[in-house]
């Protein structure tokens, strides 16, 4: 029996290949509209070109979720499928996937499709898929129900943080006053956010400067119960900042493992230049 691990392009694994036998990973690309141009967030996307276009565009840009047909095509890849799109609280991607699931199961009731609300994007999703692949590789005979329960436990015990230092997109979209965005950039104000229990954006706090932000990230992880393990750090053209955070994590929790990867187009669009998205977990989701 074959497995498919499915997401959308808010997951930054891109061309990742699972290690578990008979297991495929694939994602449905979101689209980003910048001025008169549409960028498809697939493997061919030049993320730097997208970032440059967004910075140069004076008007608000937008994103669009994958179609029901795109999701349905992915749900036909394997006998058993686990799909985890970007948080239902911030996008229509989950609802489109749910419609596609119902359609594919109506066609073939013998398929098994488990749809999970990530309540996140980026690093948290990356971490969950990586840990679940390890589980499947070690438990190839696990039933669909048991495997799905394990996947759910990974989601429930993992967290996301995101650090922003540019606010142009938020200002252009009208989510913050333009003047506030300009002032925040000039004063080097960094915002730390997370996801609420419902998977919506929630503010943790703000600092001035990168050093203070790194301290705040470490303090927040500790306050949430992190005691060491695996951490995924996604970045928007900011590998130096990601490496600095990774060093702080290993310093605070010796033996921890950090995985650094660049953001896809969608996460780059929302986290903006030099942003970081951190995925970490406790208990079963710590990877220990």
Out of 132, 156, 180, a domain closes at 156
Whether residues 10 and 73 fall in one domain: yes
User: What's the mean pLDDT when you consider all of the chain?
Assistant: 94
CATH code of residue 184: 3.30.1180.10
Identify whether the C-beta of residue 169 lies closer than 8 Å to the C-beta of residue 61.
yes
Whether residues 97 and 217 fall in one domain: no
pLDDT level of residue 220 (50, 70, 90 thresholds): very high
**Which pLDDT belongs to residue 135?**
98
User: Is the confidence at residue 171, as pLDDT, over 90?
Assistant: no
Out of 126, 156, 186, a domain closes at 156
Tell me the pLDDT tens digit for each residue of 26-71.
999 999 999 999 999 999 999 999 999 998 988 888 999 999 999 9
**Which pLDDT belongs to residue 179?**
67
Whether residues 235 and 172 fall in one domain: yes
Out of 138, 156, 174, a domain closes at 156
Whether residues 179 and 271 fall in one domain: yes
String of DSSP letters for 197-239:
TTS-EEEEEEEESHHHHHHHHHHHHHHTT--S-EEEEEESS-H
Whether residues 177 and 148 fall in one domain: no
Q: Which domain holds residue 236?
A: 158-286
Number of structural domains, the chain?
2
CATH code of residue 126: 3.40.50.10170
**Which pLDDT belongs to residue 42?**
98
Identify whether the C-beta of residue 127 lies closer than 8 Å to the C-beta of residue 281.
yes
pLDDT level of residue 174 (50, 70, 90 thresholds): low
pLDDT level of residue 175 (50, 70, 90 thresholds): low
Q: State pTM to two decimals.
A: 0.95
């Amino acid at each position: 029996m074959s497995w498919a691990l499915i997401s959308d392009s808010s997951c930054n694994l891109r061309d990742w290949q699972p290690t578990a036998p008979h297991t495929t990973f694939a994602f449905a690309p979101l689209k980003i509209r910048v001025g008169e141009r549409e960028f498809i967030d697939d493997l061919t996307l030049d993320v730097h070109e997208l970032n440059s276009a967004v910075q140069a565009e004076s008007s608000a840009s937008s994103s669009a979720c994958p179609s029901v047909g795109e999701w349905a095509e992915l749900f036909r890849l394997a006998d058993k499928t686990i799909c985890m799109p970007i948080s239902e609280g911030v996008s229509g991607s989950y609802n489109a996937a749910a419609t596609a699931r119902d359609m594919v199961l109506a066609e073939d009731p013998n398929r098994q499709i488990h749809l999970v609300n990530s309540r996140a994007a980026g690093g948290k999703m990356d971490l969950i898929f990586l840990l679940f692949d390890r589980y499947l590789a070690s438990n190839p005979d696990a039933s669909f129900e048991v495997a799905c329960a394990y996947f759910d436990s990974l989601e429930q015990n993992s967290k996301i943080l995101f650090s922003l230092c540019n606010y142009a997109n938020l200002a252009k979209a009208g989510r913050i006053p333009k003047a506030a965005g300009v002032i925040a950039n000039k004063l080097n104000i960094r915002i730390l956010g997370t996801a609420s229990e419902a998977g919506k954006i929630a503010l943790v706090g703000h600092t001035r400067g990168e050093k203070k932000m790194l301290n705040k990230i470490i303090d927040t992880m500790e306050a949430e119960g992190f005691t060491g393990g695996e951490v995924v750090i996604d970045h928007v053209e900011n590998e130096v900042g990601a490496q600095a955070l990774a060093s702080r994590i290993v310093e605070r929790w010796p033996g921890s493992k950090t995985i650094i990867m660049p953001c896809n187009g969608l996460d780059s669009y929302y986290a903006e230049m030099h942003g970081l998205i951190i995925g970490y977990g406790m208990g079963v989701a710590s990877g220990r």
